[in-house]
């Protein structure tokens, strides 16, 4: 196998493309293929460089910098707009990933979100311990499995995850902007007519979000 770097924005289908070049399944809709092709964590944004790898998948899209890191690798760049690609990635796995990294809901916040209208208003965690035993048992059970709290968090953190995703990537790509001048092959999803490009353009464009688009304009 020719040593290869596949460069693409998050959500643009780099793992799918690598699957296709290896002759493996690549075109199942509404999913990510990261679990098929193990994208090395330190290669995602080129935090570290390992030129011994035969296949490198990276979200860095600056061909000049990539070629300086991997001069002997063939460089394939998948090109499409950052906003729609990132929106797809955020909707598929970004919200869940952000929520999973978020600590459990504080007990007082959980109490205020969960409590029955007949329960007293509280101002501190310590007051929870003074509640009747039956209420404390019910609270502890729900807080332990976090079934309600996770639902609350999902709603509460959707906007936060959106803002965090957009801001981080806009900052990153401002420092390392798109450049395809040194690419050996450019797969332009807007104009290419091959099966992969046509599939991915449809796959990306179907993930719409008014919230994401609104925050994108603000940041």
The C-alpha angle 94, 18, 28, rounded to 5 degrees, equals: 60
Q: What is the pLDDT of residue 148?
A: 47
Contact criterion met (CB below 8 Å) for 207 and 83: no
pLDDT single digits (tens) 61-110: 999 999 999 999 999 999 999 999 999 999 898 776 665 555 566 788 87
Q: How large is the average pLDDT for residues 185-209?
A: 96
Q: Comparing 83 with 116, which gets the higher pLDDT?
A: 83
Which range, of 42-56, 106-120, 195-209, averages the lowest pLDDT? Answer: 106-120
Binning pLDDT at 50, 70 and 90, where does residue 149 land?
very low
Closest listed residue to residue 57, CA positions, set 79, 82, 86, 34: 34
Mean pLDDT of the chain: 87
pLDDT single digits (tens) 159-196: 888 898 999 999 999 999 999 999 999 999 999 999 99
CA distances from 207 to 58, 69, 90, 176 (A): 22, 33, 9, 26
Annotated domain spans of the chain: 4-102+149-218, 107-145
Q: For the whole model, what pTM was predicted?
A: 0.75
Q: How large is the average pLDDT for residues 197-219?
A: 94
| Cα separation, 178 vs 71, whole angstroms | 18
Closest listed residue to residue 196, CA positions, set 52, 56, 80, 107: 80
Binning pLDDT at 50, 70 and 90, where does residue 199 land?
very high
């Amino acid at each position: 196998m020719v040593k290869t770097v596949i460069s693409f924005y998050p959500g643009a289908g780099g793992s799918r493309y690598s699957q296709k070049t290896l002759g493996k399944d690549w075109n199942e809709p509404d999913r990510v293929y990261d679990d098929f092709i193990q994208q090395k964590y330190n290669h995602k944004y080129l935090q570290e460089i390992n030129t011994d790898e035969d296949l490198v998948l990276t979200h860095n899209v600056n061909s000049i910098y990539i070629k300086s890191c991997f001069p002997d690798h063939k460089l394939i760049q998948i090109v499409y707009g950052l906003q729609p690609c990132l929106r797809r990635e955020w909707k598929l796995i970004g919200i869940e990933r952000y929520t999973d990294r978020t600590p459990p809901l504080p007990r007082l916040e959980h109490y205020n979100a969960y409590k029955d209208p007949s329960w007293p208003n509280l101002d501190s965690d310590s007051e929870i311990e003074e509640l009747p035993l039956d209420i404390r048992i019910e609270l502890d059970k729900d807080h332990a499995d976090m079934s309600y709290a996770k639902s609350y968090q999902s709603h509460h953190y959707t906007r936060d995850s959106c803002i965090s995703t957009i801001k981080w990537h806009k900052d990153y790509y401002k420092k390392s902007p798109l450049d395809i001048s040194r690419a050996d092959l450019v797969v332009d999803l807007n104009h290419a007519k091959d099966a992969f490009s046509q599939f991915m353009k449809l796959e990306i464009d179907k993930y719409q979000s008014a919230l994401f688009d609104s925050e994108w304009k603000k940041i």
